[in-house]
Amino acid sequence: MLNSSAHRTTLLSLLLSIPAGAVAAGAQQNAAPATTGKTFDVVSIRQNMALGGSKSFNLTPSPDGFHVTHNPLLLVLMTAYTPQAGGMFLNNIEGAPDWLHRDTYDIDARISDADRAAWSDPKNQPAMLQQMLQTMLADRFKLAVHRQMKENPVYQLVVAKGGVKFAEAKADEPRPAGPTLPGGGAIGPGAGGAMHMYNLTMQMLAAVLSERTDRPVIDKTGLAGHYSLDIHEPQRMAAPSAGTSSPEEDAMPAMADVLKAVGLELKPAKEPVEFLVIDHVERPTEN
């Protein structure tokens, strides 16, 4: 399960390409969908043993397929499998061996000419990419997973009194210099040391915030668009308020104060959370 501070800090640093700052009971299991149908035409996978060097964190497809360089396999897995409610399994993965987020790979996966027309259609491409990646992971890494709902302490991301203080992303808005996430959003350095979040859904924002808090964040904003906003890194953990009677309120992270600046709030709650459980995975044979 990826909720240790070491795993979370490393993963978020890789995902956002910016420096990082200084569960459950009562399971209901659902098998992951079968990965039948479309596959990549040609796949090359090699472990990248370089200690440094350039990394490619673009998790979106290219016109001819899907390519990553010097990339932890865990990020590829999180592109192949996403929660039913949207976002990413940033901190909701169980059973991942250390090498899955430590070792890096170069992957060059190309589509066939017969699939090119369907692949070029934005309505088809997300589902095709996930299906092809799931098949590739099952074939080359012997990956087997299942989805699991667990009752879990969470923070609900809600709109604060007075409404949000950000707007929907504009077509001509400059994209930040950072990784492209599934769905087309991006995160990069913003003005004044802020994290600039570009073209993100609230589900994706909630997933990213989960890496900054002590429990999963669930989108309850009711906002259905794609938005751009700046969020500053909290400077310190907030001290418990005088007279606070609830342990959940005592645990409210400093991120809550940061979110108030953009018209959002975190509210402690308990509800079912979707986890991705890794049943089996192996290092691949290279080609």
Residue 211 has a pLDDT of 77
Give residue 195's pLDDT band: very low, low, confident or very high (50, 70, 90). Answer: confident
Higher pLDDT, 186 or 277: 277
Q: What is the DSSP string of 189-231?
A: E-GGGPEEEEEE-HHHHHHHHHTTSSS-EEE-S---S-EEEEE
Higher pLDDT, 57 or 198: 198
Give residue 39's pLDDT band: very low, low, confident or very high (50, 70, 90). Answer: very high
Residue 136 has a pLDDT of 96
Query: Over pLDDT 70: what percentage of the chain?
Result: 76
Question: CA 224, CA 229: separation in Å to the nearest integer?
Answer: 15
pLDDT at 44 over 50: yes
- Chain segment 158-187, per-residue pLDDT in tens: 999 999 999 999 988 888 876 677 667 888
pLDDT at 96 over 90: yes
- Chain segment 120-143, per-residue pLDDT in tens: 998 899 899 999 999 999 999 999
Please check whether residue 21 is in contact with residue 12, taking contact to mean a CB–CB distance below 8 angstroms.
no
Give residue 239's pLDDT band: very low, low, confident or very high (50, 70, 90). Answer: very low
Question: CA 247, CA 240: separation in Å to the nearest integer?
Answer: 9
Tell me which residue of 53, 236, 276 sits closest to 146, measured CA to CA.
276
Strands ordered across the beta sheet of 167-168:
167-168, 227-231, 195-200, 186-189
Q: Give strand ranges (E) for the chain.
A: 25-31, 42-48, 65-72, 93-94, 104-110, 144-159, 167-168, 186-189, 195-200, 217-219, 227-231, 264-280
Query: Of 49-53, 120-124, 249-253, 255-259, which range is least confident?
Result: 249-253
- Chain segment 18-32, per-residue pLDDT in tens: 222 222 222 233 334
Query: How far apart are the two ends of the chain, measured CA to CA in Å?
Result: 30
Higher pLDDT, 162 or 192: 162
pLDDT at 55 over 70: no
pLDDT at 243 over 60: no
Residue 52 has a pLDDT of 67
Residue 34 has a pLDDT of 38
Higher pLDDT, 191 or 227: 227
Q: Determine the average pLDDT of the residues in 52-70.
A: 78
Mean pLDDT, all residues of the chain: 79
Higher pLDDT, 3 or 74: 74
pLDDT at 235 over 70: no
